[in-house]
Chain A
Amino acid sequence: MSEAAVSPVPMPAKRRGAQLVMLAIAVAIVMGAYANVGLAMTGSVPAGMLTYGLGLGGLVLAAYLVLAKFAPWADPLILPLVTLVNGLGLVMIYRLEAAKMPGASATNQIIMTGIGVVLFSVTLLVLRDHRALQRLTYTAGLVGVVLLISPLTPGLGKEINGARIWIGFGSASIQPAEFAKIALVIFFAGYLVAKRDVLALAGRRLLFIDLPRARDLGPVIITWAVAIGVLVLQKDLGSSLLLFGAFVVMLYVATQRTSWVLIGILLFVGGAFLAGQLFSHVGDRFDVWLDPGSDEYYSREFGGSYQIMQGLFGLGAGGILGTGLGQGHPELIPLAFSDFIFSATGEELGLTGLMALLMIYALIVQRGLRTSLAARDPYSKLLAGGLSFILAWQVFIIVGGVTNLIPLTGLVTPFMSQGGSALLANWILIALLVRMSDTARRPPPQAIQNEGLTQVFQR
Chain B
Amino acid sequence: MNGTLKRVAVACLAMFALLMINVNFLQAVRAEELRSDARNTRNYYERYAIERGRITAGGKVLAESVETKDPRFKFVRKYPEGKLYAHVTGFFSPESESAIERSENQLLNGSSADLLLRRSIDLFTGEPTKGANVDLTINPKAQKAAYDALRGSGKRGALVALDPKTGGILAMVSLPTYDPAELSGTDKGDVFTRYDELAEEKGQPLLNRTIEQTYPPGSTFKVVTAAAFLEDDSSRGPQTTVDAPQRLPLPNTNISLPNYGGAACGSGQVTLVYALERSCNTPFAKIGMELGYDALKEQTEKFGMGLPIAVPMSVANSDFGDEEDKAALAMASIGQRSNRMTPLQMAMIAAGIANDGKVMKPYLVNKITDAKGDTVDEAEHDELTEAVSSETAAKLREMMVSVVQNGTANLAQVPGVQVAGKTGTAETTDGQPPHAWFISFAPADDPKVALAVIVESGAANVGAEATGGHTAAPIAKAVLEAVLNK
Q: Which residues of B contact A309 (CB under 8 A)?
A: 37, 39
Complex-state Cα separation, A366 to B8, whole angstroms:
11
- Does A329 interact with chain B (Cβ within 8 Å)? yes
When chains A and B are docked, how far (Å) is the Cα of A37 from the Cα of B172? 47
Can you name the residue of chain A whose Cβ is closest to the Cβ of B2?
A373
* Residues of chain A with a CB closer than 8 A to B15's CB: 392-393, 395-396, 400
A61 to chain B, nearest CB (A): 30
CB distance from B266 to the nearest CB of A (A): 71
Beyond A316-B37, A369-B8, 12 additional contacts (C-beta under 8 Å) are A1-B1, A313-B34, A315-B34, A316-B30, A316-B31, A316-B32, A319-B28, A332-B42, A346-B23, A392-B16, A395-B19, A399-B19
Q: Are A403 and B34 in contact (CB under 8 A)?
A: no
Task: Give the distance to chain A from B60, nearest Cβ to Cβ, in Å.
Answer: 32
> Is B13's beta carbon under 8 Å from chain A?
yes
CB under 8 Å from chain A, chain B span 50-89: 71-72
CB distance B1 to A378 under 8 Å? yes
Q: What CA separation (Å) do A315 and B1 show in the bound complex?
A: 40
Tell me the minimal C-beta distance from B101 to chain A in angstroms: 23
Grouping DSSP codes into helix (H, G, I), strand (E, B) and loop, the B interface class, with mixed when no group exceeds half, is: helix
> Which residues of chain B are near A358, meaning CB under 8 Å?
16, 19-20, 23
A118 at the interface (CB under 8 A from B): no
What 5 pairs between A and B have smallest CB-CB spacing? A316-B34, A351-B27, A313-B40, A396-B15, A392-B12
Name the residue on B nearest A298 (C-beta): B39
> B33, A256: Cβ atoms under 8 Å?
no
With both chains docked as a complex, state the minimum distance between the C-beta of B161 and any C-beta of chain A, in angstroms.
Answer: 45
Contact residues in A for B37 (Cβ distance below 8 Å): 293, 309, 313, 316
Nearest B-chain residue to A332, judged by Cβ: B41
Q: Is the CB of B9 within 8 A of A366?
A: yes
CA distance A252 to B22 in the complex (A): 27
Most chain-B CB neighbours within 10 Å: which of A317, A392, A393?
A317
Contact of B5 among A298, A315, A366, A369 (CB under 8 A): A369
Segment 297-323 of A: residues with Cβ below 8 Å from B: 298, 309, 312-320
A346→B5 contact, CB < 8 A: no
> Which one of A329, A393, A403 lies within 8 Å of B42 (CB-CB)?
A329
Q: B18 an interface residue at 8 Å Cβ cutoff?
A: yes
Give B contacts to A, CB under 8 Å.
1-6, 8-9, 11-13, 15-16, 18-20, 22-24, 26-28, 30-35, 37, 39-42, 45, 71-72
Contact in complex: A316, B2 (CB < 8 Å): no
| Pair B31/A354 contact, Cβ less than 8 Å | no
Residues in A with CB closer than 8 Å to B72 are 329
* Complex interface: chain A residues within 8 A of B42 (CB): 313-314, 317, 328-329, 332
- Return chain B residues, CB-CB under 8 Å to A319: 27-28, 31, 35
Question: Is A232 in contact with chain B by the CB < 8 A criterion?
Answer: no
Whole-angstrom CA separation of A258 from B3 in the bound complex: 12
Q: Which of A68-76, A102-110, A155-163, A381-389 contacts B (4 or more CB under 8 A)?
A: A381-389
In the bound assembly, the distance between CA atoms of A317 and B40 in angstroms comes to: 9
10 pairs across A/B with beta carbons < 8 Å? A312-B26, A317-B40, A354-B27, A361-B16, A362-B13, A366-B9, A396-B18, A400-B19, A403-B22, A405-B22
> Are A316 and B5 closer than 8 Å at their CB atoms?
no
- Which one of B4, B11, B20, B35 lies within 8 Å of A355 (CB-CB)? B20
B39's partner among A99, A313, A382, A399 (CB-CB below 8 A) is: A313
Known: A358-B20, A365-B12, A403-B22. A316 touches B71 (CB 8 A): no
| Residue ID in chain A nearest B12 by CB atoms | A392
Which residues from 367 to 383 on chain A have a C-beta closer than 8 Å to any C-beta of chain B? Answer: 369, 372-373, 378, 381-382
A369 to chain B, nearest CB (A): 5
Docked CA distance A350–B28 (Å): 10
Answer whether residue A429 sits at the interface, using C-beta atoms and an 8 A cutoff: no
A75, B6: Cα distance in complex, Å: 19
* CB-CB nearest in chain B for A386: B8
A41 contacts the other chain (CB 8 A) = yes
Residues of A within 8 A of B30 (CB): 316
Q: Which residues of A contact B3 (CB under 8 A)?
A: 256
Q: Which residues from chain A contact B20 at a C-beta distance below 8 Å? A: 355, 358
Task: State in angstroms the CA–CA spacing of A392 and B41 once bound together.
Answer: 33
Binary flags per residue of A1-28, CB closer than 8 Å to B gives 1, else 0:
1000000000000000000000000000
Residues in A with CB closer than 8 Å to B24 are 351, 355
Contact A405 B39 (CB under 8 A): no
A242 within 8 A of B: no
Asked if A316 and B9 sit within 8 Å, CB to CB, the answer is: no
Chain A residue with Cβ nearest B34: A316
**Is A237 interfacial (CB-CB < 8 Å)?**
no
Q: In the complex, which residues of chain B have a beta carbon less than 8 angstroms from the beta carbon of A393?
A: 15
The answer for the CA separation of A361 and B20 in the assembled complex, in Å, is: 12
- Measured between beta carbons, the chain B residues less than 8 angstroms from A389 are 8, 12
Q: Is the CB–CB distance between B40 and A316 below 8 Å?
A: yes
User: Within 8 Å CB of A329, what residues of B?
Assistant: 41-42, 45, 72
Given contacts A328-B42, A354-B27, A396-B19, contact A256 B4 (CB under 8 A): yes
Residue of A nearest to B41 (CB): A332
Is the pair B1, A369 in contact by a Cβ cutoff of 8 Å?
Answer: no
Chain B residue, CB-CB nearest to A100 = B71
A265-303 contact mask (Cβ, 8 Å, vs B): 1 or 0: 000000000000000000000000000010000100000
Of the candidates A256, A298, A312, A369, which one forms a contact with B12 in the assembled complex, judged by CB atoms under 8 Å apart?
Answer: A369
B23: which of A313, A315, A392, A396 is its contact (CB, 8 Å)?
Answer: A315
- Answer yes or no: A254 CB below 8 A from chain B CBs: yes
A382 to B5, CA, bound (A): 9
**Is the pair B27, A381 in contact by a Cβ cutoff of 8 Å?**
no
Q: Which of B1, B27, B35, B71 contacts A256 (CB 8 A)?
A: B1
A319 and B15 alpha carbons, distance in the complex (Å): 22
Contact of B6 among A362, A373, A378 (CB under 8 A): A373
Whether A249 touches B27, Cβ cut-off 8 Å, given contacts A313-B34, A316-B37, A328-B42, is: no
**Alpha-carbon gap, A319 to B3, bound state (A):** 40
B43 to chain A: closest CB distance in Å? 9
CB of A143 closer than 8 Å to a CB of B: no
Q: Which residues of A contact B34 (CB under 8 A)?
A: 312-313, 315-317
- CA gap between A385 and B28 in the complex, in Å: 34
**Whole-angstrom distance from the CB of A444 to the nearest CB of chain B?**
18
Pick from A316, A369, A405: contact of B19, CB under 8 Å: A405
Say yes or no for A127: interface residue by CB 8 A criterion. no
Q: Which residues of A contact B9 (CB under 8 A)?
A: 366, 369, 373
Q: Which residues of B contact A346 (CB under 8 A)?
A: 23, 27
Q: CA–CA, A378 to B40, complex, Å? A: 52
Task: Let me know if A119 is at the binding interface, CB within 8 A.
Answer: no
A404 to B11, CA, bound (A): 19
Q: How far is B30's CA from A320's CA once the two chains are assembled, in angstroms?
A: 11
The chain B residue with its CB closest to the CB of A318 is B27
Which chain B residues border A252 with CB–CB below 8 Å?
A: 4, 8
A350 surroundings in chain B (CB, below 8 A): 27
User: Which one of A316, A332, A382, A405 contacts B33 once the chains associate, using CB atoms below 8 Å?
Assistant: A316
Q: Does A152 contact B (CB under 8 A)?
A: no
Report Cα–Cα, A350/B24, bound state, in Å: 10
Contacts of A354 in B (CB 8 A): 23, 27
Expressed in whole angstroms, the minimum distance between the Cβ of A416 and any Cβ of chain B is 14
